[in-house]
Amino acid sequence: MELKRAQEIANEVIKHLAPYCQEIVVAGSIRRRKEFIHDIDLVLIPSDPWNLEHEIGGLGIRHASGDKLKRIKLYDSGVQVDLYFASDETWATLLLIRTGSKDNNIRLATLAKKKGWHLAASGDGLFDENLKRIAGDSEESIYAALDLPWQAPEERG
């Protein structure tokens, strides 16, 4: 679907879920401003998990579920929406990873590995060789720790 339509659908989903979230934002190819969108990725921090679950159930049919991911197909449009659940600590790293692109994530993870570090796809952060978290409070902190200039989402491929 085209970016404009995907953004409209994402905004509708956010409108339904936001009352039960501390934070909720669009990630993925919408955040990267790609012309055509396959699915909708949202990263959120729940504030009212029980009501959030109820609202998610009202939006669509659940296809996958876990602690950090809920995948639904919306009843009204059939569009797939991936909901990534974060905490205050995992928010920025999960937003970075779920914004992508896949190639950008591989580049960041490879640079980390060359330093003996680990960029956790779970959103837990960037860890040094002693498993000490050294970045992840912001997307910028991860780029800085890897000695890279900041890249806005639309520059990430």
- Is a pLDDT exceeding 90 seen at residue 64? no
Residues 6+ apart with CB under 8 A from 139: 92, 93, 95, 96, 150
Domains 3-85 and 100-155 share a fold: no
**Domain chopping of the chain, boundaries:** 3-85, 100-155
pLDDT in tens, 87-140: 999 999 999 999 999 999 999 999 999 999 999 999 999 999 999 999 999 999
Tokens of 138: 């912001």
Q: What is the pTM of this model?
A: 0.94
SS3 content of the chain, % helix, strand, coil (to 5): 40, 25, 30
Which superfamily is assigned to 3-85 in CATH? Beta Polymerase, domain 2 (3.30.460.10)
CATH class of 100-155: alpha beta
